[in-house]
Each structure stands twice: as C-alpha cells, then as structure tokens.
A and B are shown apart, each in its own frame.
Chain A
Amino acid sequence: MMENLQASFNKGPSVDSSKPIKMKTKDVTVHYGQKQALNGITLNIPENQVTALIGPSGCGKSTYLRCLNRMNDTIDSAKVAGEILLDGEDVYDPDIDVVELRARVGMVFQKPNPFPKSIYDNVAYGPKIHGLAHSKQELDEVVHTSLRRAGLYKEVHDRLDEPGTGLSGGQQQRLCIARAIAVSPEVILMDEPCSALDPIATATVEELIDELRENYTIVIVTHSMQQAARVSQLTAMFHLGDLAEVGPTEKMFSNPGDKRTQDYITGRFG
C-alpha cells in the first residue's frame, strides 16, 4: 500500500493526503419513485483536487453528483437520504439556502448549455443575480477574468456581444465553465463535460480542469478511463448504485483492488 502510494507520488499529480476534506457524504441513498438509484454512498471529496467518478452507464454516478448541489430537487420523484456535508455543514438541512449552496457548488453539464444570450451576458449571468459586482467595471472585470481562466478569452475577446450559442461545441463548454467560475464557487461539479466534444476540444477542456484544480475542488463524472487517469487524483468507481472502490487514481488504474473495477477498466463490461 505504502509502496503504491509512494510510486504514484513520483509519477506526478496524485492525492495529496495533506489536503483537507471539502465535502463528506455518508450513506447517501437516492430513490426515483420506487426505484433505488444509489445504495448508500460514503465518500470524501478532498479540497483542491480532481475527483473522478467512473462506472458503467446507469451506475448512479450522475445521480450522486447531482446530490452534491441538490440539483435532484428539481426532479419531482427523486428522494435523497443520508448525510452530505460541505465544510461540515449539512447541505440537506431544511434551513440551508439552496440557491446559496448552488452558488458555492457550481455545475457544468454534459451537453454545453449556453443561454440564448451574448457571450458576455452568459458569463455575467451568475454575478448579476448574486449581486457580486457593484459597477459595470467590476462586472467587466469578473467576466474577463472568468473567460481568461476558462481559456476562452483570447478566442472571443473581440466578439463578446455575439450569441454564446454561435460558438463551437468546445468553446461553448468552456463558456459554461467560465459561467460557473464567475460566481466564485468553491466546488465545481462536472457531468461528463467532454462527452459531446471532439478530441481536440476535449484536450483543451482537460488541461483547463487541471489548471482549475489550483483554485477549486472539482468532481467530474466521466465515461473515459483515459480522461479519469489524465485529470483526476482520486477516482471512485460506481457499480449498480454501489461505490465499488475508491482510491488514488494511480493505484486504481495500476492495481485495482476490486474485481468490478478491474473488469471495468480493462473493458470487460461497461
């Protein structure tokens, strides 16, 4: 065990055990009507790290992700139980303000979903509704910084007033990331952010994710083993609503402890 960890440290990005835990989940179960989608997930998400959730389709990884910022609230039939803590605060506490929670835990979706507004307004949307900018200059500053951080500024700086929907798929997804960054979240949840993108756009977004790790805690759902290996430090393997295995990414891919993980990453199912 120690050797494995040691080995992965030497290879590059890895779990830094000194990082504090940002989000803690304990025995999280989700029901959609009668059907149980998650059977008690206990998982800790470290701060300023990228945590990848992998597993075959329908295993509950997106469901789990959507629990973290209570996006499951929008689905009438979804019932969530268990404990989810953000910096020690229960996010399912009746007293908590969901709107504020979602500002702290932002989300990027599978399909790029820019609003039918200009590029500028897309990024300015969050800051405006949360009152983060007090003047036009401040707002400009926030928008430009966010676009820069999302690696999109150079490509679009001269056409900020054009519709965001007119960008290419990869640019749209980076716009959505910029939009999420603009409200200064602490955690960014990404639900298969590259599944609708071509390999070049995917590479750009992956690089971006790696850079964002410095300032944000990131949880990413992905279908691509390579992607999980490239961008994440911690990997959690889901299978049929269970958490099959969780561990440092390096170890998961070199020496999986669970039979299901082994089968999955070697392509025997999924």
Chain B
Amino acid sequence: MSTFTIIIVVLAIGLVGAFFGYRQGKVLTASENGVRPHSRPVYHASYVASLAVIPALLLLAVWLIASPIFIASDVRASFPEGVLAQSQLTEDLAYGIVESLGTGLQVLPDDERETITETTPVKDISALLRERGVPIASASADWMVPLALQLNGMQFWSRLAMTVAVIALSVFGAFWGYRQIAMRLRSRNKVEGIIKGALIVASSIAILTTVGIVFSMLFETIDFFSRISPVDFFFGTVWEPRFSNVGSSGNAGSFGFIPLLAGTLYIGAVAMLIAVPIGLFAAIYMAEYASRRTRSVVKPLLEVLAGIPTIVYGFFALVTVGPFLRDLSAQINGLVTGDYASFIQAQSVLTAGLVMAIMLIPFVSSLSDDIITSVPGSLRDGSLGLGATRSETIKRVILPAALPGIVSALLLTASRAIGETMIVVLAAGVAANLTIDPLEPMTTITVKIVAQLTGDLEFNSPQTLVAFALGMTLFVITLALNVYALYIVRKYKEQYE
C-alpha cells in the first residue's frame, strides 16, 4: 500500500472511531439518574480520533525515516571487499546504482522480471531497462544484481510490515479510546492536552528549521575556514577571489571581508539616515495629527510601497535615480566649474542608499505608527490637559513612552537594510571597493554571496564556500541586532510599566 493510502486509511479509522465515540458520548448524556458526564460527546469523539490517528501517523513517520537507513546499512554490508576498501564516495556511488537497479526492476512487467535471477548479467538488465526508459550508470557490475534483488525484497517486506503495524496501531488506538469512554473520563482535558501538544510541535518546527539552516551553513563555513584563515577573512581589506586559480592551491585569492562589511554598513547607514526621519515623521503625522479619514487613505497607500518587490526598486534605481543623480551632478559641476563631468557615478552608495531608503520608509512608518498608537490615550490627555501643545506632548511624553518599541522597530528595519540584495546589485554595483566616498560604487555581503554561488566554480572550492562564511557572518550580525532589540525593549518595558 502506498504511503498516501495508508494515511487515508488511518484517517478513515479515526473518523469511524470519532463517530462511535460520539455515539457513546450521547448514550452517556442521555443516561438516567441526572448525573452529567464529565465531557460532552464531541470531546469523546475527538479523543478517540486522536488516539486512532496520532500514534499511527507517528509510527508511520518514524518507519519511513528509519527503514531506508537500516536497509541501506544491511545492503552495504554485503558489498564486495574491494568496493568497501575504496573511498566513501565510491561506496555511495555503488549504492546509488544498486538503488536505481532496484527501482528499475520494479518498473519491469511481471513476466520480464521473473526472467531475472541473481545470476543474470547486469548488461542484460541494463538493456531491458533502457527499453523502458530507465538509464543505468555504466559503472554497474554483476555483483550488484543480487544486491538489487535483496534490496527490493527488503523494501517489499518493510512496507508490508509497516502497513500492517500502522493500521493495527490505529485500530488498537481507536478501540482503546472507545473502551475508555465513561461518565468520569476527562476527555475534555485530554483533548486540551493534545491541542497544546500540536501547538508546541508547530512552534518547534519553526525553531528547528532555523537551527537546521544554521547547521547547514555551519559545516560549509568550517570547511571554508579550514582552507582560508579566519584572520585573513575577517581582517583582510582586499576582496579578489575571482583572480585566484582554481586548483592551484597556495594561491586561493584574497577573501578580505572588510570591504563587504563596510559596504553593507555604509549603504545601510545611508538608507537608515534617510528613511528613519521621514518614516518616523510620517508615522507621527498619521498617528497624532491626521484625521481618521486621511489616515484611512494614507496608511494603506504607504503600505502599498512596502509590497513592491525590491527588484522593482532596483529598476527604479538603475534607470531613474542613478542617471538622475549623475546628470544632476554634471549640471552642478558645469555651473560651478564649467566642466560638465559628473562627480556622482550612476552606480553609487548614495543611489543605493536613497532607493533602499524609499523601500524602508513604509516599513519604519508602519511599525512606528502601530507603536505610537498603542501609547495609552490617557498619557496624551494628561499632557494636553496640562496645557501642552501637540508637538510638546509628542516630544516629551509620547515618543519617550514609545521609544523602546521604536528602537526595536528601527533595529528590525536595519536588519532588512543589511539583508537587502537586489537594490544594491542594480544601484551600487558588484565592485568590492573600500572607500569612504558615498559617490563611488561599493557592494554588500549579500551581493557577493549571490555572485560566489552563481559562478561556475567547483562547489568545494574556497571561492564557493566563502558564500557560506559570508552567510553565517550575516546571520550572526542580524541575530545580534535582533537580540539587542529584544534587550532594549525589555529594559525599557520594566522601567515604564
């Protein structure tokens, strides 16, 4: 039975169990002598269904994960000595061929499959399979045939055992739950526990995924640092990995991280410098001054900006803002010195910062607006009642009260600015310069991650692995920012509550 069918069957058993549980619950409710059962029928039904479905599906999941591992180790144990003596890679490759032979054999019609025995040469099988459109690697060998057959046999029995075990467990669970139904069975509380468990599982998945992502980067990062010294990476001021010769070890190029970090922080800082005041002022206007009608129009409009894909901002930078700044600088230069040469390049830190700021404004204003509006109205009244003007109230009461929230909103915005890629590629270019002139191109960590991973380099060369080191560093930076934001929020909350 296929996995899907098994799941359907288990769910069906759960449904039937629920039906009987409900009926039994009804019987209890209707029973005489005026005693009310502890739980309503619907809880008995959910309880029976949960007992039928949850353990069975858990067993199914564990089995599906565990059985290939056991089968593989069993099959590999019977590999010839010669193969086992070679590298892990060769062994993996051989197992891959055995697996595809096994899958291929299942595709064959029954009469053809019966002709194949443990002694059939692999060439014949390959020919047969090729007719069916299943290619088999040329590295196949005759000793693999019996193993493929063994593999198929084990898989067959494993699946059969799994089907029986899962369905039996499901039926048993349903029956057991049904038998428990009684006046005093607290299925209402038990269902509560099951719901809590489900919620915990959901949140653990989110956390475990994060951990998984970190680990997937961690190993590659360690691999990278085993080839390039961390000191060269973190303190190097030259980023030239492309110029190194792949394969010629000893000269892997320079992986100086400083120019990228500087570019990231510089562009982010320019963006924040523009976006924060504008966004904050917009938020203050919307929260404190705008009438309800204005607010209902302006706020969605601002939030539309937040929905624009960043690549579109990139176009805007590339075709509009960049050339505009370049031409503007040419005009200014011409008017001042008579020499119409532009001093702002079309791709520059300024362009990227400016366009990124436009992207961040709705982010800042929307978050801050929510925070400012959540400051209790009583504080506003208190200040106005003392004869303060609106702006005095905002400056001296509202903003201080909203400060922790606003700071954390700004730090969140900063993490976005640091993680932004598309705008930077199009607006500031990909040249890893180390400069303090905002009118020159620079680039950021994320841009270089993309550049290193999309090149046609070997996957295990430092040129590619550096992307993971960069990703890991970026992760740590944004994590630190977020943790700091949480810390600030907590500190001020204690003070003001």
Contacts and interface: CB of A to CB of B under 8 A. Distances in A.
A109 B396 contact: no
A99 B496 contact: no
Contact of B386 (A74, A106, A114, A116): A106
Interface stretch (A9-17, A125-133, A136-144): A125-133
Interface string A160-181: 0001010000000000100110
A180 B382 CA distance: 9
Interface string B348-391: 00000000000000000000000000001011111111111100
Given A69-B385, A104-B387, A111-B378, 18 more contacts: A102-B386, A107-B381, A107-B386, A109-B382, A109-B385, A113-B381, A114-B382, A115-B400, A116-B379, A116-B495, A125-B396, A126-B388, A129-B396, A163-B495, A179-B382, A179-B386, A180-B386, A183-B386
A43 interface: no
Given A103-B387, A116-B401, A129 B392 contact: yes
A114 B385 CA distance: 12
A19 interface: no
Nearest to A117: B400
B495 A74 contact: no
Interface of A: 69, 71, 74, 76, 99-104, 106-107, 109, 111, 113-117, 125-126, 129-130, 163, 165, 176, 179-180, 183
B401 A74 contact: no
Smallest CB-CB A-B distances: 7 pairs: A103-B387, A107-B385, A113-B378, A102-B387, A116-B496, A113-B382, A126-B386
Contacts of B387: 99-104, 106, 126, 129-130, 183
A101 B385 CA distance: 10
Interface in B263-299: 291-292
Given A113-B376, A115-B401, A163-B495, A74 B381 contact: yes
A129 B380 CA distance: 15
Nearest to B375: A116
Contacts of A113: 376, 378-379, 381-382
B377 to A, nearest CB: 9
B382 A71 contact: no
A165 B387 CA distance: 21
Contacts of A111: 378
15 contacts: A71-B381, A102-B386, A106-B385, A109-B378, A113-B379, A113-B382, A114-B382, A115-B383, A115-B396, A117-B400, A129-B387, A129-B388, A129-B389, A163-B495, A179-B382
A196 B382 CA distance: 16
Nearest to A163: B495
B124 interface: no
A130 B396 CA distance: 13
B397 interface: yes
A117 B496 CA distance: 8
B497 interface: yes
Contact of A125 (B386, B389, B495, B497): B386
A69 B387 CA distance: 9
A177 B167 CA distance: 73
How would you classify the secondary structure of chain A's contact residues: helix, strand, loop or mixed?
Answer: helix
B386 A165 contact: no
Contacts of B383: 115, 125
Contacts of A183: 386-387
Contacts of A76: 291-292
A163 B384 contact: no
A179 B376 CA distance: 18
Contacts, number: 78
A179 B383 CA distance: 10
A184 to B, nearest CB: 11
A89 to B, nearest CB: 16
A113 B383 CA distance: 9
Contacts of A179: 382, 386
Interface in B373-424: 376, 378-389, 392, 396-397, 400-401
Contact of A163 (B380, B385, B396, B496): B496
Contacts of B389: 99, 129
Nearest to B397: A115
Contact of B385 (A71, A100, A116, A129): A71
A176 B384 CA distance: 13
Residue among B376, B387, B396, B401 with the most chain A CB within 10 A? B387
Given A111-B378, A113-B378, A165 B384 contact: no
A182 B347 CA distance: 58
Contact of A165 (B291, B382, B397, B497): B497
B496 to A, nearest CB: 4
Residue among A126, A129, A163, A165 with the most chain B CB within 10 A? A129
Contact of A115 (B291, B382, B495): B382
Nearest to A77: B292
Given A163-B495, A165-B497, A115 B385 contact: no
A84 B385 CA distance: 17
A117 B378 CA distance: 15
A234 B201 CA distance: 65
Contacts of A103: 386-387
Contacts of B392: 129
A74 B384 contact: yes
A11 B362 CA distance: 66
B157 to A, nearest CB: 70
Contacts of B397: 115-116, 125
Contacts of B291: 76
A111 B385 CA distance: 14
A100 B388 CA distance: 9
A76 B292 CA distance: 8
Nearest to B387: A103
A107 B378 CA distance: 12
Contacts of B495: 116, 163
Given A125-B396, A163-B496, A115 B388 contact: no
A74 B380 contact: yes
A216 to B, nearest CB: 15
Nearest to B293: A76
Nearest to A127: B386
A179 B378 CA distance: 14
B319 to A, nearest CB: 43
Contacts of A125: 383, 386, 388, 396-397
Given A102-B387, A116-B401, A129-B396, A165 B380 contact: no
